[in-house]
Structure 1
Amino acid sequence: MTNMQRGLAELLGTFWLVFGGCGSAVLAAAFPEVGIGLLGVSLAFGLTVLTMAYSIGHISGCHLNPAVTLGLWAGGRFPVHDVPLYVIAQLAGAIAAAGALYLIASGNADYSLATNGLAANGFGEHSPGGYTMQAALIVEVLLTFFFLLVIMGSTDARAPADHAPIAIGLMLTLIHLISIPVSNTSVNPARSTGPALIQGGWAIEQLWLFWAAPIAGALIGGLVYKALGADAKSRPDVTGDAL
């Protein structure tokens, strides 16, 4: 695949992750009487990764996440010279998705960006459950760490074939079930950046944590799996060394 094809795949995939996941939170979670709630939003995020993994995994590897890209590099699965291409594409997709979501949400007369937001990540008074910065930092590092273990383990050449997207999608669902109350769940700097740039204010001020913590967790996860898996490599039929 060419760099243009891989970059476009990452852009579209990340657009779908942010639009589908954050869209479920903004448009459907609090809908009167039939809102999908925390469970529905968690499933939505997992389903975006699952559907994109089967759609573009063979093109780009379906990272959809700067932390995943860097974690795979740390784990010896991804070349450093391709990291900027992927990160730029992921950020572009996330920002475009947040913009599209804002345009749709604004079609409701009762919607207010200041009041309803765009599912931005936050801590302290901006945490859904009122959790501190320390709590958000710890949960984001830990969950991204285990996310990388699942990604690298399920795509290992020795793992059962064809099931990696299911494992990774379910893992992302579980991650959201755990941490939505704490930080609104990031584990993905691109997912955090798109809504924060549109929402502005406190969301941008707190954005640093949702870059630092997921990247730290991903780098540790990549290094740990590299040590656990010895000379393990991703399956040879996989492009992009992720899915």
Structure 2
Amino acid sequence: MKTKQLAAEFIGTFWLVLGGCGSAVLAAAFPEVGIGLHGVSLAFGLTVLTMAFAIGHISGCHLNPAVSIGLWAGGRFDAKDLLPYIIVQVLGGITAGAVLYFIASGKAGFDVSAGFASNGYGEHSPGGYSLAAAFVTEVVMTFMFLVIIHGATDKRAPQGLAPVAIGLALTLIHLISIPVTNTSVNPARSTGVALFVGGWAVQQLWLFWIAPIIGAVLGGSVYRWLGGNDD
């Protein structure tokens, strides 16, 4: 495992959490003319789009433990590289959470208990959705994300456009599921902000590890069959 690959994953995940969660915390409800759900969704997609072009050729631009695991399930990533990737992704997410906390706390009246872009279910779901609804949402959204990632990066797919497809996929995923869970599909993203909220956010964090990983393994496995050369 090359140090540069791990550094790229750290920086990329840092950018994803800072850009995506930062847009939610700092800009979503900015006085009168906030960017809202649509803007936050686009921000998450743009973080992946920009990083895919910037570091895709260095580390593959996973930025997400579920994506790394899903690529392994699809036969695209070596098992021995999983743990190092996951560690630096989580560290990148936590570092971004720390930077965002520092910036956000510079405003009078900042209250981290308001959520800090954390993911949740039940009373902590933006729309009040149940644990079961949140679980299914995260599994299905991550499943589709991995199918799209595998398909867009297939050697038979149009070359050079994978970052666009993947970035837009993440935007669409957020447009669908922000009301349900505040959208995770990424354990590093969830962990990076939940640790600063503590309490309920940490207690519910298990779902945003387990459900995305299940969805990713299913997505990677299905595309391994779907994209295979055998009829």
Structure 2 length as normaliser, TM-score? 0.98
Find the aligned partners of 1:150 and 1:114 in 2 and give their Cα distance: 35
In the alignment, structure 1 residue 79 sits paired with structure 2 residue 71: no
Identity, in percent, stands at 67
Is the CA contact (8 Å cut-off) linking 1:98 and 1:118 kept in structure 2?
Answer: no
Report the alpha carbon displacement of residue 231 of structure 1 after superposing the two structures with TM.
Answer: 4.7
Residue among 188, 195, 214 paired with 2:193? 195
The corresponding residue for 2:45 is 46
What stretches of structure 1 of length at least 5 have no aligned partner? Answer: 233-243
Looking at structure 2, the residues matched to 104 and 160 of structure 1 have their Cα atoms a distance apart, in angstroms, of 40
Deviations 1:92-150 (A, max 9, x none): 000000010000000000211123x3100000000000000000000000000000000
The answer as to 2:7 corresponding to 1:8 is: yes
| CA–CA distance in structure 2, aligned partners of residues 48 and 4 of structure 1 | 22
Question: Secondary structure at the residue paired with 1:214?
Answer: helix
Normalised to the residue count of structure 1, the TM-score between the two structures is 0.93
Paired amino acid for 1:204: V
Of 211, 216, 219 in structure 2, the residue corresponding to residue 218 of structure 1 is: 216
Q: Return the offset for 1:32.
A: 1.1
Give the ranges of 4+ consecutive aligned residues of structure 1 lying more than 2 Å apart after TM superposition: none
Does structure 1 residue 230 correspond to structure 2 residue 217? Answer: no
CA separation in 2, counterparts of 1:114 and 1:61?
A: 35
Question: Hey, what's the Cα distance between the residues in 2 that align with 1:82 and 1:231?
Answer: 26
Match of 1:141 among 139, 142, 156: 139
Q: Aligned equivalents of 1:168 and 1:91: distance in 2?
A: 21
Alignment correspondent of 2:117: 119
Q: Distance in 2 between matches of 1:160 and 1:125?
A: 43
Alpha-carbon distance between aligned partners in 1 of 2:229 and 2:53, rounded to the nearest angstrom: 26
Instruction: Indicate yes or no: 2:172 matched with 1:174.
Output: yes
| 2:89 alignment partner in structure 1 | 90
What is the root-mean-square deviation in Å for CA atoms of aligned residues? 0.9
Match in the other structure for 1:209: 207
CA distance in 1, matches of 2:63, 2:110: 28
Residue 163 of structure 2 corresponds to which residue in structure 1? 165
For 1:6, the aligned partner's letter is Q
User: What is the alpha-carbon distance in structure 1 between the residues aligned to residue 2 and residue 128 of structure 2?
Assistant: 42
State how far apart, in whole Å, the 2-side matches of 1:20 and 1:145 are: 23
CA distance in 1, matches of 2:3, 2:198: 31
Q: 1:38 is matched by which residue type in structure 2?
A: L
